[in-house]
A and B are shown apart, each in its own frame.
Chain A
């Protein structure tokens, strides 16, 4: 993406990024690894989520999964059919502070999301280019016999990455900087 184009995205989505950052700060307060995301349809935020792995003791409760569940719940109440749900997802864009992990990238591909924007890369678990590239449909197996083919999605990283990184930094540095760092537990949590 061109720089000017990226700046345009930045301007357009400033509000979304802001709410996303708030979400991440909220996660920070509850000692979750600070990852937040919003899902946008036609320029409007329709769902948000933050990492809740500690609180739920479920390490799969990443921001993306929370936001997707919120949406599906809304659409269930609106009694949308499966094809309407699929149609809706195909119009949604997701903004997230950190590159979706392999699990979330797969989930986003399965639901057929339109586009994903993320902040910093996730060089241990990233599923949108860092470790695997689940966003590009070419990474899917060759299909034959009319089986459903994998869906890719457009994915752009490095958006407001500095802000995302500083959020992580404040998470890892909060408390007494001289105290022994709980290296392993935090590393284990940082699976987002």
Chain B
């Protein structure tokens, strides 16, 4: 079932808003789901959408009507409308025949040229008006963002998937994913640098375990089942949305409910809580602790630097040349490592070279991070972020905000969503 796993790039730019998007008119109709396959096959023969290959011909929508509790509606694009005259009259004959034999009621919709957008154009809805049905549910635009599949090699993909499995494993308590988990990885050596779960409500655990030798190749047994539900970023019908439970139940995931910490039920009222210890923040703290542990010498340098700086300031009589030398030496000692990895070439890094913060490292998150965590990851210079499940109400990497597209920032990471396979 491994082939179900996928890596999807989350672009820096948001999908074009519906009102700014170039569209063409098309003729569509609601259809009986029973005939969907037959109709699409036939339509692809007699009225192929030649220049709109990205457009999904059938669109599914869950409708909450006035008289029914809710049902799934399918609509299909029959053909493109002609540019002039009465559009509904211009339908070609074989399509017209098909419509007659399946008793379809055509209406005009807009089809986006760069992405799929299906709306009902209110002025053209005479069929709908005549039938007197409530069509309030058609008021909104349905947009499926363009998601590009990324060019990861087979080996890199497998590595990404195993780190994501590792993160999901960390987040699991029993069979549930009730916290977020964050795993910082050095992809050049496939090594876990730091890992953490949310610590917003659990008993306080100030000393995070520092992992130096965890390998991603360890066998991970997982048994979480994911049902089908449309995530905010999903474009496929298969199980890439939320895990089986409704999102409402994930109030323990800090990034999903960052304001909810005070309301959360707790059997011990005196239990310590820290509303900001989201998994990413804790993992960053842990990686910084590792940095200090592995490269303590730089700490001494820091002291020397302060001393020299003080010294330098108090001895204003020192020759300009000497002062300049001292100054630039300090800078090299303290910031020189920064040059190592700016081009994303992490492979040559040895243990003796201290990375600048998390430059060159990847972050694996079970859930799309909130804006606080997303910005923390900018500060700490994470190179790439992989997350499994979207965070529609507070997500900062495409759902609510799109921080990776914020050009004013001094660091930009690439963001990927990992569509989790059914083996998890």
Q: Which residues of A contact B (CB under 8 A)?
A: 29-31, 53-60, 65, 68-69, 72, 76, 79, 81-83, 85-86, 101-103, 106-107, 109-112, 123-125, 127, 131-132, 134, 140-141, 143, 145, 147-151, 174-176, 178-180, 182, 184-185, 187-188, 190-191
Contacts and interface: CB of A to CB of B under 8 A. Distances in A.
B1 interface: no
B409 A125 contact: yes
Interface of B: 204, 248, 257-264, 266, 269-276, 281, 284-285, 288, 291-292, 302, 305-306, 309-310, 312-313, 320, 323-324, 327-328, 331, 334-335, 338, 357, 370-372, 375-376, 378-381, 392-394, 399-401, 403, 406, 408-411
The listed residue with most A CB atoms (<10 A of its CB), out of B275, B284, B310, is B275
A82 B261 contact: yes
Contacts of B372: 102-103, 106-107, 110
Contact of A148 (B259, B272, B285, B328): B259
Given A56-B288, A58-B284, A65-B276, A106 B258 contact: yes
Given A106-B375, A175-B327, 6 more contacts: A58-B380, A85-B275, A101-B375, A124-B408, A175-B313, A188-B410
A55 B273 CA distance: 26
A161 B220 CA distance: 54
Contacts of A184: 335, 338
A184 B313 CA distance: 23
**Interface secondary structure of A, over-half rule:** loop
A68 B248 contact: no
B208 to A, nearest CB: 12
The listed residue with most A CB atoms (<10 A of its CB), out of B284, B327, B375, is B375
A179 B327 contact: yes
A109 B259 contact: yes
B381 A59 contact: yes
Contacts of A188: 338, 410-411
A132 B401 contact: yes
Contacts of B274: 69, 72
A112 B275 CA distance: 10
Contacts of A81: 269-270
Contacts of A145: 248
B310 A29 contact: yes
A31 B305 contact: yes
Nearest to B400: A141
B409 A106 contact: no
